[in-house]
Structure 1
């Protein structure tokens, strides 16, 4: 790989010190700390994303490149560092946080001029590890590697994954925070993004009242990632905030479209570019439930439940607005923009739902139709993805009981089948208001409704197999996630088997790495 072309543009523009010192502490007035990966004596490559490597300009993998993929024996051109940021966690101000398990290698530019940041996750402690070891276990690393690539192919803005490697050492973790820590295999994932800047980077500087540095960071972000913004003065910062709001709303709609639940929507886990970032206790939706959260830490309040993700993103944007106001200096503008966020989100959300149902446009009465559908989905515990797959195929000759029992997580009694019949009648009536043909409607549905989603039980099976020294499921899942709108493996287009209902890592997860 062409690692000699990796540069460090960020650290040339902003203050940083504490070189090589990983002792946990506050670092006021500093945006990053130079720190080295811990190094691993017996690493082993599990998988490498050749397509991504070629795309970003690193080129083909060679055996000697394993050192780089785990942070060993780095060349002199690479000055590694971790960044400081702050955040609101579960609604509360948490103060200074930072890259506790992430270390940045720098940035590479491909032949087309596109820049990509490269980062290790799990390569050792940083000053922001908060008394932790900076390592990561295999299960969380596999989940991040596969899900970030799955989201890309689903069409959802996301960070990406370059490689997954064993570190050759064990890491002790209490998986469910139950007082039962166990040794697990350690791993490092190399992930990439146009930028890993978060809401929390801006929150930290503003909270410290370092407004000159805040202005530098905002200008740096606009110049490098928002070149379409050409206005001057305060208007530039207003345009910047409006664009962040739009990207964030669009991202939330995409999460709703595919049934993704992030699980930890703290402000420090919100990308300034509108990317899905930090794959922790996430889940793809099995049975439809607006109140579903995959994160045990989010119980009992369910702040980050599936149906609340739009609302929480708006709350997070309020915190970002407070941080940017020293530059924008217009509270009425910020309030108006944030109030408009809801209107934009819901219109975009409902337009997306229209496409999922094969409707060519949003019409009067559709909101009531969607509300009734949501009630039916929750009452009958229907699988979100499989419901739309079956809806494409339904005609008057179908046996509705067999069809819907196959995709339900509860027993469907006769009165519930009658409710399904009523819904299908209402759906057909609504389809008749389309200005496109039934065939065109189905084509519209097939473009937006995935046939394959990466479910937690798939990941559980994959992690168990890798732990046993095999990668067959990993390779199969990698093929499937690259083709989510095709049914390449029919055996994967099933609801979660009941034997996985109560297994940790399938239904509920924690923030444990």
Structure 2
């Protein structure tokens, strides 16, 4: 890899603490601190993303690059740092937070002029680790590497993963916060994004009343990541907020489309660019349930349940609006923009569902149709992904009863099947109102409905294999996730096996990593 191209533009513009001290502490009026990764004695590469490396301008992997990928050997031009931010966690102001396990290597530019930030995750403590060790365990690292890549190929805005490596050391974690900590294998992920800026970066500076710095950060962000904004003065910052709101709404619609549940939608986990960021206790939807939350820490309130993600995104935008108010200084504009969020989100959400069902246009009657569909899905615990795969085959003369028994997580009696059959008849009648051809309808469905989604039980099995030194399943999963709209492996196109129903890590997870 060509590591000499990595630069640190963020640190050249904003004030920082260059003490290099990794000890945990509060860092008021400081946006970043220099910090160096720990040195791992026996690292081992698990997987390297050659396609991404070429795309961002780093080039092909060589054996000598392993030292950089775990943070052991840094080129002279790399001066790593971590950033401070704040946030609202589970609805409560948490004050100063920061990159507790993430350390920036810097930014690289490819031949097309596209810039990409590079981070290590799990390479040691930073000033923002809050008395933690800054390490990451293998299970959470595998999950982040694979899921971020899966989301990319699904077409969902996301951070990405460049490499995954064993650190050669064990890390102690209490996976269920049950008072039973255990040693687990440690790992480091190198992840990339156009930018890792979060709502929380703006919240921190505003809370510290550093309004000149807040305006500098806004100018920096707009100049580097929002080239479509050409306005000046206060209008520039208003356009920025509207843009962030729309990007966030679009991201939520994409999560709903593929059945993704983030699990920890705190404001510090919200990307200012509308990317999926911080893959912790996430889950892809198995049985459809608007109240499903993938995070045990989110019980019993289910604040971050699947069906609430649009609502929470709007709440998080309110907190960002509060942080930007000292610069925008227009309460009515901010309120109007936030009030429009719901209308925009639901319009895009319903258009997305039209595509999933193969409808050419949204009809007034579709609201009732979608409501009936949601009720059917929840009542009979139908698999979200597989339901639409069955729907695509509805005209092929297959046995409907067998098809739906294979995608339900409960037993279906004759009464249940009668309801399902009635819905299918309603669906066929709705298709007759289409203003597009059957071929175009099928094309819409095939583009909107993945054949493969990366379910938690597959990740669970993959992690177990990697821990035992095997990579066969890992390689199959990578092939599948790179081709999610094709059925590369029919054995993956099945509902979650019942043996995993109550296994930790296969349905719900904690924040432990």
Q: Please report the TM-score for the alignment, with normalisation by the length of structure 2.
A: 0.99
Q: Which residue of 2 aligns with 1:109?
A: 109
User: In 2, Cα distance between the equivalents of 1:62 and 1:421?
Assistant: 57
Q: What is the CA deviation profile of residues 237-289 of structure 1, one whole-angstrom value per residue up to 9, with x for unaligned ones?
A: 00000000000000000000000000000000000000000000000000000
Q: Which residue of 2 aligns with 1:254?
A: 254
Give the length in aligned residue pairs.
513
Q: Which residue of 1 aligns with 2:225?
A: 225
- Counting only pairs closer than 5 Å after superposition, residues 331-350 of structure 1 correspond to structure 2 as 331-350=331-350
Q: Which residue of 1 aligns with 2:96?
A: 96
User: In 1, Cα distance between the equivalents of 2:382 and 2:439?
Assistant: 25
The offset of 1:439, in angstroms, is 2.4
Q: What is the CA deviation profile of residues 419-451 of structure 1, one whole-angstrom value per residue up to 9, with x for unaligned ones?
A: 001101110111000011222211210111000
Q: Which residue of 1 aligns with 2:429?
A: 429
2:234 aligned with 1:239:
no
User: In 2, Cα distance between the equivalents of 1:397 and 1:184?
Assistant: 50
Q: What is the CA deviation profile of residues 463-483 of structure 1, one whole-angstrom value per residue up to 9, with x for unaligned ones?
A: 000000011111110000000
The offset of 1:18, in angstroms, is 4.6
Q: Is the 8 A contact 1:17 1:32 kept in 2?
A: yes
Q: What is the CA deviation profile of residues 175-214 of structure 1, one whole-angstrom value per residue up to 9, with x for unaligned ones?
A: 0101110000000000000000000000000000000000
Q: Is the 8 A contact 1:400 1:420 kept in 2?
A: no
Q: Which residue of 1 aligns with 2:507?
A: 507
2:89 aligned with 1:127:
no
2:142 aligned with 1:142:
yes
CA RMSD of aligned residues (A): 0.7
- Counting only pairs closer than 5 Å after superposition, residues 4-23 of structure 1 correspond to structure 2 as 4-23=4-23
User: In 1, Cα distance between the equivalents of 2:479 and 2:396?
Assistant: 35
Instruction: After superposing the two structures, state which structure 1 stretch, 259-268 or 15-24, moved more.
Output: 15-24
User: In 1, Cα distance between the equivalents of 2:73 and 2:48?
Assistant: 19
Question: Secondary structure at the residue paired with 2:359?
Answer: coil
2:268 aligned with 1:307:
no
Q: Is the 8 A contact 1:118 1:193 kept in 2?
A: yes
2:101 aligned with 1:76:
no
Q: Which residue of 2 aligns with 1:360?
A: 360
User: In 2, Cα distance between the equivalents of 1:370 and 1:294?
Assistant: 24
Gaps of 5+ in 1: none
2:475 aligned with 1:475:
yes
2:438 aligned with 1:450:
no
The offset of 1:73, in angstroms, is 2.0
User: In 2, Cα distance between the equivalents of 1:204 and 1:401?
Assistant: 55
The offset of 1:399, in angstroms, is 2.3
2:266 aligned with 1:266:
yes
The offset of 1:396, in angstroms, is 8.2
User: In 1, Cα distance between the equivalents of 2:397 and 2:479?
Assistant: 34
Question: Secondary structure at the residue paired with 2:79?
Answer: coil
Q: What is the CA deviation profile of residues 42-98 of structure 1, one whole-angstrom value per residue up to 9, with x for unaligned ones?
A: 000000000000000000110000000000121211000000000000000000000
User: In 2, Cα distance between the equivalents of 1:2 and 1:392?
Assistant: 46
User: In 2, Cα distance between the equivalents of 1:444 and 1:94?
Assistant: 43
User: In 1, Cα distance between the equivalents of 2:319 and 2:190?
Assistant: 30
2:27 aligned with 1:27:
yes
User: In 1, Cα distance between the equivalents of 2:192 and 2:465?
Assistant: 26
Gaps of 5+ in 2: none
User: In 2, Cα distance between the equivalents of 1:151 and 1:17?
Assistant: 35
Question: Secondary structure at the residue paired with 1:47?
Answer: strand
2:154 aligned with 1:154:
yes
Q: Please report the TM-score for the alignment, with normalisation by the length of structure 1.
A: 0.99
Question: Secondary structure at the residue paired with 2:382?
Answer: coil
2:409 aligned with 1:409:
yes
User: In 2, Cα distance between the equivalents of 1:72 and 1:213?
Assistant: 33
The offset of 1:512, in angstroms, is 0.5
